[in-house]
């Protein structure tokens, strides 16, 4: 199929897509996200199968979970997803300061998320409900912990990104990195929404 | 031609009539044509945020108030979660942005099919009681 040619089309592209090679890296990152999706799908499958295997004296999902921390974590991550979207929006308008500020807010909300999650995990373990107690608890800690590890990595990534943005400004390379980070962060938000639904809310049904 | 009149919805980076340009700008099929958003104010982002908050609150209230029997409730909150995922993908992840064809949508679609199959088949196979324990 032949579509008409627009000679100046690359001039209209956002900065991260103007370089051919950089835009290929974005395509590659989407492929990574598809494989990461399969990793989480495997862990969701394990959780779905094991959630009723609570062992001899282990707690059921209903007994274990308190919705409070889970709701706080959800709100923190949803808000961070929004601020990350605003960072990309500022980047598109070529506002370096705005990009860095919203990215920093995203990072702090991410830290809040991980902190709340660690406190939640510690409170479970303090009651004796650690991952070796039952198949349900193993599956729970593996699924939610893997997501938490992803968010922790995202925080480290955002720190390096802020340093690069401050040093180099908005170039084809740094905007591509920022765009990829945003993809990663929103992807983790989607995974969390499903964890909140399938693990926490489903546990209370 | 394709670009005329359709300009508002698609900013197509098109192939040359003589074949690929070598710059990755090819668009092989109309449904893979890229689309870029640009707004003076981040309305879309605000819409996405408010939408995701509303969907979360709806799911939470549905479960806390037990509005339906267990299975119906699970279906409802799963549908709400899929809605949230669509918001994130469409608005925040700029799903339709690409240099040339949006091939990542095809990759992602395949990933989603396998993911649903993986979870669904695992749950299905475990509904059989083997009699061995």
Per-residue pLDDT of A118-147, as tens digits, reads: 999 999 999 999 998 899 999 999 999 999
- Helix or strand or coil: residue B98? coil
Compute the distance between CA of residue A134 and CA of residue A140 in angstroms, rounded to an integer.
Answer: 10
Is the pLDDT assigned to residue B7 strictly greater than 50?
no
Nearest Cβ partner for A49 among B33, B114, B122: B122
Q: Between residues A27 and A4, which one has the greater pLDDT?
A: A27
Query: What pLDDT is stored for residue B94 in this prediction?
Result: 92
Compute the distance between CA of residue A58 and CA of residue A66 in angstroms, rounded to an integer.
Answer: 16
Indicate the range of A9-18, A161-170, B52-61 predicted with least confidence. Answer: A9-18
Q: Percentage of residues in chain A with pLDDT exceeding 70?
A: 95
Is the pLDDT assigned to residue A2 strictly greater than 60?
no
Query: What pLDDT is stored for residue B1 in this prediction?
Result: 38
pLDDT category at B18 given cuts 50, 70, 90 is: low
Query: What pLDDT is stored for residue B55 in this prediction?
Result: 97
Nearest Cβ partner for A81 among B38, B88, B107: B88
Q: Between residues B130 and B40, which one has the greater pLDDT?
A: B40
pLDDT category at A5 given cuts 50, 70, 90 is: very low
Distance from CA of A5 to the nearest CA of B (A): 5
Taking an 8 Å cut-off on Cβ atoms, the answer to whether A202 and B77 are in contact is yes
Taking an 8 Å cut-off on Cβ atoms, the answer to whether A30 and B112 are in contact is no
Asked whether A13 and B37 are in contact (CB, 8 A), the reply is no
Q: Percentage of residues in chain A with pLDDT exceeding 90?
A: 84
Is the pLDDT assigned to residue A53 strictly greater than 50?
yes
Taking an 8 Å cut-off on Cβ atoms, the answer to whether A23 and B88 are in contact is no
Query: What pLDDT is stored for residue B36 in this prediction?
Result: 85
- Rounded average pLDDT over B63-91: 94
How much is the pTM? 0.90
- Helix or strand or coil: residue B17? coil
Taking an 8 Å cut-off on Cβ atoms, the answer to whether A2 and B17 are in contact is yes
Tell how far CA A123 is from the center of its chain.
Answer: 23
How many contacts, defined by CB atoms under 8 Å, are there between A and B? 181
pLDDT category at B31 given cuts 50, 70, 90 is: confident
Q: Which residues of A touch B86 (CB under 8 A)?
A: none
CB atoms inside a 10 Å sphere around CB A56 = 6
First to last CA, chain B: 67
Is the pLDDT assigned to residue B21 strictly greater than 90?
no
Residue in chain B closest to A33 (alpha carbons) equals B108
Nearest Cβ partner for B29 among A1, A31, A79: A1
Angle between helices A20-50 and A172-195 (to 10 degrees): 10
């Amino acid at each position: 199929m032949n579509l008409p040619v627009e000679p100046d089309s690359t001039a209209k592209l956002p900065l991260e897509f103007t370089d051919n090679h950089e835009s290929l890296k974005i395509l590659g990152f989407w492929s990574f996200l598809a494989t990461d999706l399969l990793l989480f799908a495997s862990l969701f499958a394990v959780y779905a199968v094991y959630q009723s295997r609570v062992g001899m004296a282990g707690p059921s999902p209903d007994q274990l979970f308190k919705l409070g921390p889970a709701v706080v974590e959800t709100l923190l991550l949803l808000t961070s997803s929004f601020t990350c979207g605003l960072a990309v929006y500022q980047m598109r308008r070529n506002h370096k300061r705005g990009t860095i500020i919203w990215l920093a807010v995203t990072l702090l909300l991410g830290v809040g998320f991980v902190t709340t999650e660690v406190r939640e995990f510690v409170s479970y373990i303090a009651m004796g409900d650690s991952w070796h107690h039952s198949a349900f608890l193993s599956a729970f800690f593996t699924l939610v912990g893997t997501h938490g590890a992803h968010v922790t990595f995202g925080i480290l990534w955002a720190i390096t990104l802020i340093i690069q943005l401050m040093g180099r400004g908005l170039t084809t390379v740094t905007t591509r990195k920022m765009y990829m980070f945003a993809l990663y962060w929103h992807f983790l938000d989607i995974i969390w929404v499903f964890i909140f639904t399938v693990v926490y809310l489903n546990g209370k049904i | 031609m394709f670009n005329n009149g359709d300009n508002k919805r698609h900013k197509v980076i098109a192939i040359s009539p003589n074949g690929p340009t070598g710059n990755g700008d090819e668009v092989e099929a109309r449904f893979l044509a890229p689309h870029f958003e640009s707004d003076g104010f981040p309305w879309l982002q605000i819409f996405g945020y408010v939408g995701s908050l509303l969907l979360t609150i709806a799911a939470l209230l549905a479960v806390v108030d037990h509005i339906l029997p267990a299975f119906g409730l699970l279906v409802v909150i799963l549908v709400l979660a899929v809605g949230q995922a669509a918001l994130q993908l469409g608005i925040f992840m700029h799903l339709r942005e690409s240099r040339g064809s949006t091939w990542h949508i095809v990759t992602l679609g395949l990933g989603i099919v396998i993911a649903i199959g993986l979870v669904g088949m695992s749950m299905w196979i475990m509904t059989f009681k083997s009699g061995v324990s």
